[in-house]
Amino acid sequence: MPGSRSLRRTLTVVVASVAVTAGFTGSALATPPGIPTESTAHTELAALTVKADGSQDGYSRDKFPHWIDQGNSCDTREVVLKRDGTGVATGSDCYPTSGSWYSPYDGATWTAASDVDIDHVVPLADAWRTGASSWTTAQRQAYANDLSDPQLIAVTDNVNQSKGDASPDTWKPPLTSYWCTYAEMWIKVKYTWKLSVNSAEKSALTDMLGRC
């Protein structure tokens, strides 16, 4: 990581409890929609098909078109940045010009949108291996831009990059206090989109729900 970027990161991390600026949208505690209760998550986890992951053959992020136009000059990424941020102001192109973003994965808060990634809670490649390889492009586009379920969340960019396409048996958010919520989100997405889980993944999710 270049020294200037490291310095900028140090300078842009701020305390997580940021007051919401009047007239702007977003909240430091913003969360994706549709996160189930612990009880519902247990029920939905039990309903998921358990089987080994399928092949990665043929996978490409290009087969999951994103970020798509969401109206008002905003694409999906910009909608999530506005939703999950605090005091977010945008230009005419919808790109944030100011604001802050709390990353629940690691507890950091950023004041530059460039330091924030929009994570697919269930990664596109994982979805491909567990059912999406048989979907149409339209279905994969809907999945990659899903604003109705807890599938998209603004988080620290390098934390998201460390996750890659890993499932919860091999990667969990650095903050253990978020494991319960993360498992609830992961389960809801898999349940809604009828994606399978493998046995190690199910065991990890069960353990994570035990922290609720």
Ranges 13-22, 75-84, 135-144, 202-211: which has the least confidence:
13-22
Secondary structure element (H or E) that encloses residue 139, with its range: helix 137-144
Kindly state the average pLDDT of the residues 15-30: 34
In angstroms, the CA 36 to CA 174 distance is: 21
In angstroms, the CA 106 to CA 117 distance is: 13
What local confidence, expressed as pLDDT, does residue 147 receive?
98
What local confidence, expressed as pLDDT, does residue 111 receive?
97
pTM: 0.86
What local confidence, expressed as pLDDT, does residue 31 receive?
79
In angstroms, the CA 39 to CA 209 distance is: 9
Q: What is the DSSP letter of 92?
A: T
The contacts of residue 141 (CB under 8 Å, 6+ apart) are 64, 65, 66, 68
Kindly state the average pLDDT of the residues 30-53: 95
Ranges 8-17, 35-44, 49-58, 178-187: which has the least confidence:
8-17
Q: What percent of the chain has pLDDT over 70?
A: 86
pLDDT in tens, 119-142: 999 999 999 999 999 999 999 999
Q: Are 94 and 37 in contact (CB under 8 A)?
A: no
From first CA to last CA, the distance across the chain in angstroms is 36
Kindly state the average pLDDT of the residues 64-71: 97
In angstroms, the CA 32 to CA 56 distance is: 28
Kindly state the average pLDDT of the residues 110-123: 98
Secondary structure element (H or E) that encloses residue 119, with its range: strand 116-120
The whole-chain average pLDDT of the chain stands at: 89
The pLDDT of residue 27 is above 50: no
Q: Which amino acid belongs to residue 22?
A: A
- The CA-atom distances, in angstroms, between 144 and each of 33, 72, 141 are 15, 20, 5
- The CA-atom distances, in angstroms, between 178 and each of 41, 104, 109, 194 are 15, 7, 15, 24
Phi, psi (degrees; rounded to nearest 5) at 48: -75, 145
In angstroms, the CA 130 to CA 48 distance is: 11
The pLDDT of residue 177 is above 80: yes
Which of the four pLDDT bands, split at 50, 70 and 90, describes residue 5?
A: very low
Kindly state the average pLDDT of the residues 101-117: 97
